[in-house]
Amino acid sequence: MKLLLIGLDGLRIDLAVPHALTAHDGFAEPDHPADPRFAAVPRAEDAPTVVPTGEVVAPTLARMLAGGTILPVWMTPPTDSGPGWSSLLTGTTHEQNNVWWNEFVGHHLAQTPDILSQVYFANPSARTYAAATWDALVSPSGPGPVIHSRTDQWAGGQHQVYCATDFSRGCISADQQVRTHASWTLNHEGPDAAFVYFEGVDESGHSYGAAAPEYLDAIRRVDENVRYLVKAVAERYEQLGEEWLIAVVTDHGHKPEGGHGEDEVDVRRSFLLLHRIGSTGVGEELRQRTVGHGPLHSEQVTPFLLDLLGVRPGSWTPGHDVGVLRDVKSVGPTRNLDFEW
């Protein structure tokens, strides 16, 4: 079984597929407390509010849910994209990867391999692929990258990374560029594990807020991008018999007025939508493997997906200090504005 992990930055599942929240009791409230350093600031009295309509804005996600399953994921603040994706994609906490802001200052990402790298390390014949609009996730010249470059496997064709360059229409054109490259690669090359990231919903959330119609329009656009990717791997099964696990996740939601970073429920609430492409009964098998499972924390998503794939990490206990690094303790920011630049 192959993996396609899709990251939809800043998407609120309660607005994209409202009935998804009824699929699990764990969507109601966070299952672990937030650090008081990242508590929400009081909202303005005239701040807008989201008025739920019950409309399914993302039909592709809804169809995936109908044939699959969904689990709540509660993000641990700060709910910014850098910490969120670093935790989701590596299976480590903020303290372990030392990513607290989008600047990635002092990160430990070299010591916290991403999900694609973990698949490769478990089986060096595995081919991996990542595509994104944000250079911090995939570009070796970006502030991360969260997805390891693995240039030796890149040169040998075992690993590909792609970063969007067309921002002529902002993230709309960049997401379309990622969609085109990713859907072709998935369909024609069928990597064993892939991560594809779209940013348009987050851009709209910052510009207009989650209460605005523009935010819903952005969800519709990204849902269509997701449809392209699902179709690409569905054809792999149809013509080649390859079975795929498709997972969709977000790093945070958005406030009605726009923005994120603190501990509001609508911002902390994420999800892991799972759908299998394969022979008869694989959807029910997937649901049985997740039935009764409680909400996930962000750092539990990667190990959960690896377990579904059957990927097992290696271990080494040499009995001495090989690999031990003594450095500044990862405790995060003090929130003292004298140190904010």
* 136 and 160 Cβ atoms separated by less than 8 Å: no
Q: Is 307 exposed, middle or buried (CB count within 10 Å of its CB: 0-12, 13-18, 19+)?
A: exposed
* 179 and 133 Cβ atoms separated by less than 8 Å: no
Pairing of strands 244-249, 159-163: unpaired
Residue 324 maps to a domain: no
User: What CATH number does residue 300 fall under?
Assistant: 3.40.720.10
Residue 231 maps to a domain: yes
Distance, in Å, from the CA atom of 185 to the CA atom of 179, rounded to the nearest integer, reads: 10
Count of structural domains within the chain? 1
- pLDDT number for residue 53: 85
Q: One digit per residue, pLDDT tens: the chain, 341 residues?
A: 999 999 999 999 999 999 999 999 999 999 999 999 999 988 888 889 998 889 999 999 999 999 999 999 999 999 999 999 999 999 999 999 999 999 999 999 999 999 999 999 999 999 999 999 999 999 999 899 999 999 999 999 999 999 999 999 999 999 999 999 999 999 999 999 999 999 999 999 999 999 999 999 999 999 999 999 999 999 999 999 999 999 999 999 999 999 999 999 999 999 999 999 999 889 999 999 999 899 999 999 999 999 999 998 777 777 777 666 666 678 888 778 776 77
Query: Residue 86 corresponds to which amino acid?
Result: S
Sheet strands (E) in the chain: 2-8, 69-74, 128-132, 159-163, 168-170, 193-198, 244-249, 269-277, 296-297
Whole-Å CA distances, 241 to 1, 64, 149, 279: 10, 19, 30, 8
Query: Residue 142 corresponds to which amino acid?
Result: G
- pLDDT number for residue 331: 82
Residue 171 maps to a domain: yes
- pLDDT number for residue 43: 86
Residue of 11, 68, 79 whose CA lies nearest to 40: 79
Residue 206 maps to a domain: yes
- pLDDT number for residue 325: 64
Tell me which residue range forms the domain holding 285: 2-27+57-313
* 119 and 195 Cβ atoms separated by less than 8 Å: no
Triad 254, 90, 39: Cα angle to 5°: 35
Query: Residue 12 corresponds to which amino acid?
Result: R
Residue 328 maps to a domain: no
- pLDDT number for residue 327: 67
- pLDDT number for residue 300: 98
Name the packing angle between helices 115-122 and 301-309 (round to 10°).
30
Residue 42 maps to a domain: no
